[in-house]
Structure 1
Amino acid sequence: MKVTVIGGSGHIGSFLVPRLVRAGHDVTVISRGSRKPYSEAPEWQDVHQVTADREAEDRDGTFGDRVAALKPDAVVDLVCFTLESAASLVQSLRGEVGHLLHCGSVWRYGQSLKLPIREGSDSAAEPFGEYGVQKNRIALMLKEETARGGLATTSLHPGHIVGPGWHPIGPLGNLDPAVWQTISAGQPLRVPGSGAELMHHVHADDVAQAFEKAIAQREAAAGEDFNIVAPTALTVRGYADIAAAWFGHAAVLETVTWDRFREDTTRDYAESSWGHLYRSQCFSIEKAASVLGYAPRYEPEQAIFEAVEWLVDHGQLHVARPLGVPAG
């Protein structure tokens, strides 16, 4: 098939695009052209590159027509964040393209009520925050579009994406590199809340696998939405214990109030921590496994170790002791 990937040089696209080329698809990537893929692969030599500023072209009302003019069989949209942008693309592709696949987010759900969270259930509260609210609105619009006989659409909702080349969401639910310095040195790590809060990561290549399978099974995937995460989720305490073991010792944790935690870090890091830990999410992948054959290769700690190791090896994360080999 002819497959167009919007935002193909980012986290997911770095793994998805080579997968699609290996599967025999004719692949075009639309991006701003300002960043190379996170992982090098020979398959990129066979990819058609189109440079475009989506935000500017969305404002002009021309982006959807640009995509439709490529005459793809399937479009994978990895960088759509507003309902207006998504609806504009759908309008341009309706009747022109066979399948639109949208990258959503598990933050389309609010805080967990029952675990695991399943698609279409009462497992989670309503989403909050502009990002999560928009992702949920997009997913609902796409489902309705297909249900009423319009464009065939599918939305896939990854957890906290992990991979070599960027910082993972850490044990405190934020991107603060000082957390890794503290853990590696065996120093006390101040943990807000109970420490039992959950985070559900996923390796970027597992997300790419899910998109590849959904493209290959359009009839089964059309009109559906899927949680795409690792087989298991991590608690704050479990995450810290696993990470500390990579540096040869046990985690030293100090439980503090949220007010105290906010005093000791930046506003952005504190808000990120609260956003992840308040949601305390764990997801079922039963639907993706049964409908698409989704079979994630990475447990969350394996994916996180790979990311941390890459950052340390490339001088982008400084730790107090060398990384060891993860158990298992």
Structure 2
Amino acid sequence: MKIVVIGGSGHIGTFLVPRLVRAGHEVVNLSRGTRSAYVEAAEWQQVRQIAADRSQDGFDDRVAELRPEVVVDLICFTLESAAGLVERLRGEVGHLLHCGSIWRYGPSHKAPIFEDAGTPPIGEYGINKAAIARMLKAETDLVTTSLHPGHIVGPGWHPIGPLGNLDPAVWQALSAGEPLRVPGIGAEHLNHVHADDVAQAFELAIANRDAAAGEDFNVVAATALNLRGYAEIAAGWFGQTANLESVSWEDFRASTSAEHADASWAHLMRSQVCSIDKAVRLLGYAPRYEPEAAVLESVRWLIKHGELDAQLK
């Protein structure tokens, strides 16, 4: 099939586009810039690259004019944008797949979270992702599927770390056996997923269109890490034991930049653990990576490329 991937040079597309090429599809990558994928792959030589900015008038027309059978939208963040694309593709495209987020759910009241459950979302990003998912599920004239990844991790970028933020000082403390201040008791959960496992889910949804039609799927690793376990596992990679100091949120904010403290709060107050039962049952989804293995792959890349000053055991 001819498949247009919108935003195919990012985290998910890095792995999805080569998968689609290997499966025999004709792939067009529609991206705003010319940045290459995070991981090199020979399959990219067979991909047609088109520069296009979603914010510009006529973007939806450009997608439709490529006459794809499938469109994979990896970079849609507003209901207005999603609805415009749906309206333009009705009657012209066989299947539209959208990348959502587990932040379509709010703070966890019960684990695991199933697709038809969860508390109402909070924050502009989550509220928009939830609204898009509802709109797609209600669509009757175009076959749609929304897939909702957790905290995406992989080689080439920093993972959400053991405090729920991107602060490199967390890794430095763990690698050196230094005290790490943890807000609360570290019982909150983070639900990671390797970018290639997200790509796997998209590929399966394309291959199993009838099963995926009109559905929404959580796409995360088979397990989730709580902060204490994550920190202890990560410290072990450096031959250390995690030295965790439980502090109040007030004290944590006093010793952390506002940016990192806000990110920690956003992740930890949600403390989400999502079920993948539906994706396993309907699509055959089988994540290859446990969350700690996915994060370790990212950490290895960061050390190798000089973005993290530490040494693995």
Q: TM-score range by the shorter chain?
A: over 0.9
Q: Give unmatched runs, 5+ long, in structure 1.
A: none
Q: Which amino acid aligns with 1:276?
A: H
Which residue is equivalent to 1:103? 99
Alignment of 1:276-295 (within 5 A): 276-295=267-286
Distance 2:303 2:233 in 1: 17
Checking the alignment, whether the CA contact within 8 Å between 2:176 and 2:240 is kept in structure 1 is: no
- State the SS of the aligned residue for 2:135: helix
Checking the alignment, whether the CA contact within 8 Å between 2:11 and 2:38 is kept in structure 1 is: yes
Which residue is equivalent to 2:16? 16
- State the SS of the aligned residue for 1:191: strand
Which residue of the other structure, out of 71, 91, 94, is the alignment partner of 1:75? 71
Distance 2:273 2:48 in 1: 38
Which residue of the other structure, out of 173, 177, 196, is the alignment partner of 1:182? 173
Alignment of 1:1-328 (within 5 A): 1-55=1-55, 57=56, 60=57, 62-121=58-117, 124-145=118-139, 149-319=140-310, 322-324=311-313
Alpha-carbon offset, residue 194 of structure 1? 2.0
Q: Which amino acid aligns with 1:280?
A: S
- State the SS of the aligned residue for 1:219: helix
More displaced, 31-40 or 43-52? 31-40
Distance 1:177 1:9 in 2: 25
CA RMSD of aligned residues (A): 0.7
Alpha-carbon offset, residue 54 of structure 1? 1.0
Alpha-carbon offset, residue 18 of structure 1? 0.2
* 1:282-310 alpha-carbon deviations (Å, 9 max, x no partner): 01100000000000000000000000000
Q: Which amino acid aligns with 1:140?
A: R
Distance 2:90 2:185 in 1: 48
* 1:31-65 alpha-carbon deviations (Å, 9 max, x no partner): 0123110000000000011101112x2xx2x1111
- State the SS of the aligned residue for 1:12: helix
- State the SS of the aligned residue for 1:280: coil
Q: Which amino acid aligns with 2:63?
A: V
Alpha-carbon offset, residue 156 of structure 1? 0.2
- State the SS of the aligned residue for 1:253: strand
TM-score, scaled relative to structure 1: 0.95
Q: Which amino acid aligns with 1:187?
A: E
TM-score, scaled relative to structure 2: 0.99
Checking the alignment, whether the CA contact within 8 Å between 2:16 and 2:196 is kept in structure 1 is: yes
* 1:97-121 alpha-carbon deviations (Å, 9 max, x no partner): 0000000000000011111001102
Distance 1:182 1:306 in 2: 19
Q: Which amino acid aligns with 1:166?
A: W
* 1:238-258 alpha-carbon deviations (Å, 9 max, x no partner): 000000000112100000110
Checking the alignment, whether the CA contact within 8 Å between 2:182 and 2:245 is kept in structure 1 is: yes
Q: Give unmatched runs, 5+ long, in structure 2.
A: none
The sequence identity of aligned pairs, in percent, is 68
* 1:163-222 alpha-carbon deviations (Å, 9 max, x no partner): 000000000000001100011000010000220000000000000000000001111101
Alpha-carbon offset, residue 316 of structure 1? 1.1
Alpha-carbon offset, residue 150 of structure 1? 1.1
Alpha-carbon offset, residue 314 of structure 1? 0.5
